[in-house]
């Protein structure tokens, strides 16, 4: 009688993936809290406008600080194991060059190809932002709603990392670790805040622009850090993040 082989056991969830699920749950709670404030304590959202940031302390100061710290993590080199390598691969501390001689023509072709895909995403997001701006200037939505949209994008960011990413259809990257636009997240979240003039909103937008510019400059200056064929740390065999396990499973199957 032929023996049936037991199905292969699923690999354990990595520590960083568990942490990111916790962060996703936290972001969902933050979004729900902001929706509650919108319907019940809307006056609290006045912090968004002008220099109201300095008038009275509220929980939105804590949220502002949380976002600022998130962006600072993207600007400071770190080998901290609870930060995704996808976000930190721009820095030399996380670059492990291949032993073989780098194929620079292939590297150049890879960077050009992924950059073209990245700016397709940029155009799509610019159109979405323009639509939000049109709705704002025609009076269909106000600044408070735009803020809720940004917080909703804050939730969607980790959904893209942990569950499903529509931009992967355009980027065609293997996983988040190799993603060309990983650190575009805060810029995409906070660009709509440009329509709300205030210290709160524009400081977040300026910091997001700074994080994006550092990322793009590093792509141009150190392209070898962004490709798995030149940076060993990005290869599947070296992965410890295991954030995109649904893709990893397909690659192993």
What's residue 9's pLDDT? Answer: 54
Domain-embedded: residue 64: no
**Domain ranges, residue 221:** 16-47+70-75+83-248
Average pLDDT along the chain, 253 residues, taken 10 residues at a time: 51 81 96 98 97 96 96 83 85 91 94 95 96 97 98 95 88 87 96 97 97 96 95 87 63 44
Using left for φ > 0, alpha for ψ between -120 and 50, and beta otherwise, residue 242 falls in: left
What's residue 3's pLDDT? Answer: 52
Domain-embedded: residue 207: yes
What's residue 78's pLDDT? Answer: 74
Distances (CA, A) of 195 to 7, 42, 64: 53, 18, 17
Total domains, the chain: 1
Domain-embedded: residue 62: no
Domain-embedded: residue 216: yes
Domain-embedded: residue 56: no
| Count of C-beta atoms within a 10 Å radius of residue 207 | 20
What's residue 124's pLDDT? Answer: 95
Using left for φ > 0, alpha for ψ between -120 and 50, and beta otherwise, residue 172 falls in: left
Domain-embedded: residue 60: no
Domain-embedded: residue 224: yes
**Which residues, 6 or more positions from 36, have their beta carbon under 8 angstroms from its beta carbon?**
none
DSSP designation for 100: S
Structure tokens at 97: 């060059």
What's residue 252's pLDDT? Answer: 44
The residue assigned the tokens 């025609």 is 138
Q: Is the dihedral of CA 128, 130, 133, 139 positive or negative?
A: negative
- Written as one string, the DSSP assignment of 114-146 is HHHHHHHHHHHHHHHHHHHHHHHHTTSS-HHHH
Structure tokens at 166: 């529509």
3-class DSSP state of 240? coil
Domain-embedded: residue 123: yes
Query: How many angstroms separate the CA atoms of 159 and 241, rounded?
Result: 16
């Amino acid at each position: 009688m032929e023996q049936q082989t037991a199905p292969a056991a699923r690999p354990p969830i990595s520590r960083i993936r568990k942490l990111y699920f916790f962060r996703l749950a936290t972001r969902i709670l933050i979004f729900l809290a902001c929706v509650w404030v919108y319907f019940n304590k809307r006056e609290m959202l006045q912090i968004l406008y002008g220099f109201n940031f300095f008038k009275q302390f509220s929980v939105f100061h804590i949220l502002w600080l949380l976002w600022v710290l998130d962006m600072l993590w993207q600007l400071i080199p770190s080998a901290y194991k609870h930060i995704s390598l996808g976000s930190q691969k721009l820095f030399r501390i996380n670059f492990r060059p291949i032993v073989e001689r780098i194929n620079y023509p292939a590297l150049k072709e890879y960077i050009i190809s992924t950059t073209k895909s990245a700016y397709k995403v940029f155009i799509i997001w610019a159109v979405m932002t323009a639509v939000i701006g049109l709705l704002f200037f025609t009076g269909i939505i106000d600044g408070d709603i735009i803020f809720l949209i940004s917080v909703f994008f804050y939730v969607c960011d980790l959904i893209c990392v942990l569950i499903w990413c529509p931009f992967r259809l355009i980027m065609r990257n293997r996983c988040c670790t190799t993603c060309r636009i990983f650190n575009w997240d805060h810029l995409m979240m906070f660009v709509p805040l440009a329509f709300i003039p205030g210290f709160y909103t524009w400081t977040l937008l300026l910091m997001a622009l700074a994080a994006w510019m550092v990322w793009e400059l590093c792509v141009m200056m150190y392209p070898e850090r962004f490709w798995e064929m030149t940076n060993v740390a990005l290869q599947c065999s070296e992965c410890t993040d295991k954030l995109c396990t649904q893709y990893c499973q397909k690659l192993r199957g």
